[in-house]
Each structure stands twice: as C-alpha cells, then as structure tokens.
Structure 1
Amino acid sequence: MSKEQPNNPLHGVTLEQVVVKLQEHYGWNGLAERIDINCFKSDPSVKSSLKFLRKTQWARDKVEHLYISTFEKRFPWK
C-alpha cells in the first residue's frame, strides 16, 4: 500500500510550516481572532503553539483547516 497522498493539500507540509505561514499571513492577533485558543492569545510563539497543537487534535484540525482554506486554491469542486 502506497503512502503517497497526492490529493491531500497538507501532504509534505509540516505542522511547523503551517503555523509559521499562518502567523506570517495573519499575525498572532489575527490567528487568535480566527481560532480561539490560548497559545495564539497569551504570549504566543511558534514553539508553544506546536507543543499545544501536537497534544490537542481538535485545535490542530482547526489550524489545518484554516491553512487549507487560506492557501489551498486547487479545490476540485470549485
């Protein structure tokens, strides 16, 4: 069974890359407005965000969804 995921927009993108790109695009305040989690609101950093997101699947799902909706332009249904 192949591990290739050509239709997965996050394939080959690390969680750190996701957080960094979103932070550069929205800033910490913008991220906190879009996703209400403390790691974006209280003394935010990439390191603290990664630590939280790796332990908290629902928050990671929201961050990944925001990344896809912000940067992924290849939706097959559009």
Structure 2
Amino acid sequence: MLIYLDRVWNEVGTKITATGRSLTRADLHHAIMEGAVERVRPKMMTVVAIMAGLIPILWSTGAGSEIMQRIAVPMIRGMVSRPC
C-alpha cells in the first residue's frame, strides 16, 4: 500500500511544483484516495478468486469432503474478515 501511495504522492508533488504552487492538504487527500483505489482493486480481485475456488468445496459431498470443508470454512472467513 505504501508503494502505491508514495508513487502517487511523488506524481502529485511533481505536477504541483511544476505549476509553482505549494502542496496543500487537498493535494495530500487526492493522492491518498488515488493511491488507495489503485491498491484496492488488485486486493479485491485476489480475494474474489480465492473465495470462488473455496466455495465449491463447501457444497461438495464426495469422499473427503468433510475434511476439506473444515479447512475451507476458516479460510473463507479469513478472506471476508481480514481488512488488508
């Protein structure tokens, strides 16, 4: 996350100093929002892909499905509840 924020902050800083004005809180807020959005998308894609692979395990009824369900439930719960 810090890499994304730092990259956007450097870009915003370069643009602002090129125009001759100083950086403001609004510029910082804009950089934070833009950097966070760039990081949230790949994170959400990863979580959705993992959950899409684990949810069929919960509905399976074949041999060994009881053990796999016990493994899949905590992993799905962790994907849903983990903030970062």
Give TM-score scaled by structure 2 length: 0.28
User: Which protein has the larger Cα radius of gyration, Structure 1 or Structure 2?
Assistant: 2
TM-score (norm: length of structure 1): 0.30
- Which of the pair has the greater relative contact order for Cα pairs under 8 Å at 6+ separation? 1
Say which structure is richer in helix. Answer: 2
